[in-house]
Amino acid sequence: MIGRAGLFLLLALGLGLSSAWAERPRVVLAATPIARLDLPWWRARFAAKAAELRNEKPELVFYGDSITQNYERSSTDPAADYAPIWRRFYGDRHAVNLGFTGDTTANLLWRIEHGEAEGIAPKVAVVLIGANNFGRLHWSAEDTLAGIRADVEALRKRLPRTKILLLGILPSGRGEAVERKRAQVNAALGQVYAHDSAVKFVDLSAVFLRDGRVAESLYLDPELKPPRPALHPSAEGQARMAAAIEPVLAALLGDRNHLLSH
């Protein structure tokens, strides 16, 4: 049996622990480096891309998720034949594709901090990340914004001479709640980097929206069997995205506009 003095002591300890817990800052997972090394394909791709970076010495690097990785896909289905778009726009630019399917801002942060920005000095880094934060994880707009900013700052720290072309999260057909968070993040990014000479922010929403609705004809997912919510641009959508950023990218690289020479 606990006496009165013992009870007071336990209460005091409990209050102290509660106070200490309350004062502890909340961990924002979206801005915390998290690896996916438990996945064999991810681990193998990370190793392969590390070797590619060493050998290529790229002038242009794309950091992202499956939307970026899709540029490596070839298919007899025109809607899923992305490789020709990469060859047209980036094939002569010493570019490396660092898109990893399923990656969040946290996973990209881990990759940046573990070699994907070491031993290279690209002229431009294109960043498109954040869509998977709103998937099964259901991370908030505030946390996703923090995650994207952490990715950008990690790149700036390691690649001080590299210009960053930051792309807003693309529209999707995953519901109003996701679209609301996406719009909040993009609006905030536009304000944060409005006057930043090293980071150029481009919101591509207008490319994929028609009268405020997602243009499903520009996405691959609705054509799958069974169909899925629009998330990944089709080859046509990807081509429109590449065309939309081309004038900005050419200016940052200081080379020719590939839209004018095709």
CATH of residue 68: 3.40.50.1110
**What pLDDT shows up at residue 25?**
81
68 with 99: CB under 8 angstroms? yes
Mean per-residue pLDDT, 232-238: 98
Q: What is the pLDDT of residues 148-193, one digit of tens each?
A: 999 999 999 999 999 999 999 999 999 999 999 999 999 999 999 9
Q: Count of residues for the chain? A: 262
> 127: how many CB neighbours lie within 10 A of its CB?
24
Q: Residue 14 pLDDT > 60, yes or no?
A: no
Q: Specify if 261 maps to a domain.
A: no
Mean per-residue pLDDT, 43-59: 96
Q: Residue 103 pLDDT > 90, yes or no?
A: yes
> What is the extent of the structural domain holding 241?
4-253
Distance CA 59, CA 15 (A): 56
**What pLDDT shows up at residue 236?**
98
**What pLDDT shows up at residue 10?**
40
Question: Both tokens of residue 139?
Answer: 């991370």
**What pLDDT shows up at residue 13?**
42
Number of folded domains that form the chain: 1
**What pLDDT shows up at residue 47?**
98
Q: Specify if 190 maps to a domain.
A: yes
Which residues make beta-bridge pairs with 125?
Answer: 61, 164
In the structure, what pLDDT confidence band is assigned to residue 32 with cuts at 50, 70 and 90?
very high
**What pLDDT shows up at residue 102?**
98
pLDDT above 90: percentage of residues in the chain: 87
Q: By C-alpha distance, which of 176, 182, 185, 240 is closest to 208?
A: 240
Q: Specify if 193 maps to a domain.
A: yes
Q: Specify if 87 maps to a domain.
A: yes
Q: Specify if 117 maps to a domain.
A: yes
Q: Specify if 258 maps to a domain.
A: no
pLDDT above 70: percentage of residues in the chain: 90
172 with 178: CB under 8 angstroms? yes
Q: Specify if 239 maps to a domain.
A: yes
Q: Residue 8 pLDDT > 50, yes or no?
A: no
Q: Residue 97 pLDDT > 90, yes or no?
A: yes
Average pLDDT, the chain: 92
Helix (H) or strand (E) holding 191: helix 176-192
Q: Residue 262 pLDDT > 60, yes or no?
A: no
**What pLDDT shows up at residue 242?**
98
Which residues make beta-bridge pairs with 202?
Answer: 167
Residue 56 sits at φ, ψ, to 5 deg, of -85, -35
- The residues near 98 (Cβ < 8 Å, ≥ 6 apart) are 49, 61, 62, 63, 64, 68, 111, 116
Q: Specify if 259 maps to a domain.
A: no
Question: Both tokens of residue 115?
Answer: 């070699």
